[in-house]
Amino acid sequence: MIDIFIPKKYCQDIFHINYKKLKENDYKLIIFDLDNTIGSIKENSCSQKNKEFLNSLKSDFKIIIVSNSGKKRVSNFLKDVQCDYFYFSLKPTLRVLRTIKKKYKIDYKEMVVVGDQIVTDVFWGNRKNVLTILVDPIKNIDFKVTTFNRKLERFINKKNNIKRGNYYEEK
């Protein structure tokens, strides 16, 4: 069984997530992936639109960015975004997820992970039964290190009958 690779929800992008419902269901902290979730790998800084959007969520949730990219990439991208962030996080290892639990004194069941990759973001959150939301990559261009993950993802999605573009219905 590879249930651990199945996202709890699958949305087109970060704007299509039902945040109202997340709040109603007592989720308190949202972890966003960076590359291809809040910015393409061609963007060096967060767009105004996404910056404002992330800021707007802050009244309801603690917002944290967790990226496997290095310090320079992540700190440059987020320099005008007032969010806590973790770089070189080695997702899907649990180190940073455990740190977040401790640092923000929050249970895994109150967290949400939003990301574009099955084998890092979704698998990572599912390992601790965090609510995982898969989004489509902003652009179909990845850093080289992601190429293998994408191959694995296509294989896993085929096994799990997950088709990119078949989004979960939000009621």
Task: Give residue for tokens 């949305």.
Answer: 11
Give whichever of 36 and 89 is closer to Mg ion, judged by the CB atom: 36
Give whichever of 36 and 50 is closer to Mg ion, judged by the CB atom: 36
Restricted to residues 97-116, the positions that interact with Mg ion (CB under 5 A) are: 116
Restricted to residues 21-40, the positions that interact with Mg ion (CB under 5 A) are: 33, 35-36
Interface with Mg ion (CB under 5 A), residue total 4
d(CA 14, CA 89): 21
Residue 132 interacts with Mg ion (CB under 5 A)? no
Give whichever of 16 and 23 is closer to Mg ion, judged by the CB atom: 16
For residue 109, count other CB atoms closer than 10 A to its CB: 13
Give whichever of 1 and 145 is closer to Mg ion, judged by the CB atom: 145
Task: Give residue for tokens 């990845």.
Answer: 142
Residue 153 interacts with Mg ion (CB under 5 A)? no
Q: Where are the alpha helices (DSSP H) in the chain?
A: 19-24, 48-57, 71-77, 95-103, 123-126, 147-159
13 SS3 class: coil
Could you list the residues that contact Mg ion (CB under 5 A)?
Answer: 33, 35-36, 116
